[in-house]
């Protein structure tokens, strides 16, 4: 009985010490280091993170483990120091920055907007790009103009040549789209009407209450317009980040994330091939390689938007891309995914490699 009582008293003593050491902090320092280890940080990295948080002006450094905004402040401070230093970051700080980005990624994707999704086509918004599959004919590109209570209004589909006698009205189709910062979706519907509005040809599509979520967003992306060179590869192993000495095909990076990119090129693309892009973010050269997973082709101007799934970049390249993504999104929106604090960091501008 006495032994049990002693154990209870000891546990209460530890609890009192732990709670007392918190003060106004979210965690005590003991809990802070335990949380750091649980979150993937080494003891040394957790200590460095605490020092960086204090240097960034956080009154409570423990908030980096639960507040996106406060973690963003620390990452932004490290990014500014990298931009200010001609030699960039040392290896240990680069590794710590990678851990911070990985933890931030987990925190962001725990938000409801990445989990809930949408169930009805009524929840779509104008300017959403869509792909319309007509079975036995092909895939067509279109854009939603309006979301009416009774139907969807989309631009006239562009794609393969239509067979003789083809009519859109009454045609059953499948609609695919990628919702920004969410996931890919598909639903089956039919064309209510094929008409002209102010001399502009459009289609009316029936709404659907059965949207199927096909692929969730795995990383945060930013829209961009960066001049780059594109190279065709026989394989990606061994040289996926090795810079090329000669210019390749000129292209424009339209969408960028740590796990993929979309580039605008002249001509028609091909799925399944290996490619490499080479461009600059500020003074830093970035080389990424991957596999073409799909493309959108516009025959009227002979251009393709090529979607590439990238080979996992090295820590340095990942951090450069992440920095660009978060600062660009913050500058564009002022709030949201990147955190408004990133707007204090100048997004590196792309230039031809």
Structure confidence by residue, pLDDT tens digits, 21-50: 445 556 677 788 888 888 889 999 988 888
pLDDT score, position 228:
95
For residue 348, name the pLDDT band (cuts at 50, 70, 90). Answer: low
List CB contacts of 330: < 8 A, sequence separation 6 or more.
336, 338, 339, 340, 341, 342, 343, 345
pLDDT higher for 76 or 112?
76
Q: Among 79-83, 174-178, 273-277, whose mean pLDDT is lowest? A: 79-83
Structural domains in the chain, CATH included, are: 2-109 (no CATH), 121-216 (2.30.110.10), 222-351 (2.40.10.220)
Average pLDDT, the chain: 82
Q: Among 89-98, 180-189, 237-246, 339-348, whose mean pLDDT is lowest? A: 339-348
Q: Model pTM?
A: 0.69
pLDDT score, position 247:
92
Average pLDDT over residues 325-335: 65
List CB contacts of 206: < 8 A, sequence separation 6 or more.
151, 152, 189, 190, 191, 192
For residue 263, name the pLDDT band (cuts at 50, 70, 90). Answer: very high
pLDDT score, position 352:
44
Q: Are 185 and 209 in contact (CB under 8 A)?
A: no
What is the per-residue pLDDT across 293-322, written as a single tens digit (0 to 9) for each?
888 888 878 888 998 989 888 888 998 998
Q: Are 183 and 216 in contact (CB under 8 A)?
A: yes
pLDDT higher for 8 or 42?
42
Structure-block tokens of residue 1: 């009985």
Rounded CA separation 160/334 (Å): 40
pLDDT score, position 78:
85
pLDDT score, position 34:
86
């Amino acid at each position: 009985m006495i032994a049990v009582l002693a154990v209870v008293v000891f546990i209460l003593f530890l609890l009192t010490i732990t709670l007392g050491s918190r003060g106004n902090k979210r965690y005590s320092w003991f809990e802070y280091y335990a949380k750091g280890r649980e979150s993937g940080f080494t003891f040394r990295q957790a200590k460095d993170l605490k020092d960086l948080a204090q240097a960034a002006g956080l009154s409570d450094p423990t908030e980096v483990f639960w507040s996106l905004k406060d973690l963003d402040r620390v990452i932004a401070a490290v990014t500014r120091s990298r931009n200010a230093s001609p030699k960039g970051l040392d290896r240990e700080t680069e590794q710590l920055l990678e851990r911070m980005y990985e933890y931030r990624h987990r925190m962001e994707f725990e938000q409801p907007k990445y989990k809930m999704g949408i169930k009805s086509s009524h929840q779509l918004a104008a300017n959403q790009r869509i792909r319309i599959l007509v079975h036995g004919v092909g895939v067509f590109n279109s854009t939603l103009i309006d979301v009416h209570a009774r139907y969807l209004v989309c631009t006239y589909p562009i794609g393969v040549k239509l067979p003789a006698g083809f009519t859109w009205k009454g045609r059953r189709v499948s609609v695919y789209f990628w919702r920004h910062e969410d996931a890919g979706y598909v639903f089956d519907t039919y064309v209510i009407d094929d008409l002209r509005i102010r001399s502009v040809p459009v289609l009316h599509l029936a709404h659907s209450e059965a949207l199927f979520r096909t692929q969730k967003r795995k990383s945060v992306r930013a829209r961009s317009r960066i001049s780059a060179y594109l190279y065709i590869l026989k394989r990606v192993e061994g040289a996926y980040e090795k810079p090329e000495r000669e210019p390749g095909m000129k292209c424009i990076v339209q969408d960028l994330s740590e796990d993929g990119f979309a580039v605008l090129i002249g001509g028609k693309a091909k799925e399944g091939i290996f490619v490499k892009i080479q461009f600059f973010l500020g003074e830093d050269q970035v080389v990424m390689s991957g596999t073409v997973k799909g493309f959108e082709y516009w025959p009227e101007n002979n251009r393709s938007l090529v979607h590439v799934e990238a080979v996992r970049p090295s820590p340095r390249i990942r951090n450069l891309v992440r920095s660009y993504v978060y600062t660009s999104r913050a500058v564009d929106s002022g709030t949201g995914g990147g955190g408004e604090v990133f707007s204090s960091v100048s997004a590196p501008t792309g230039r031809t490699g």
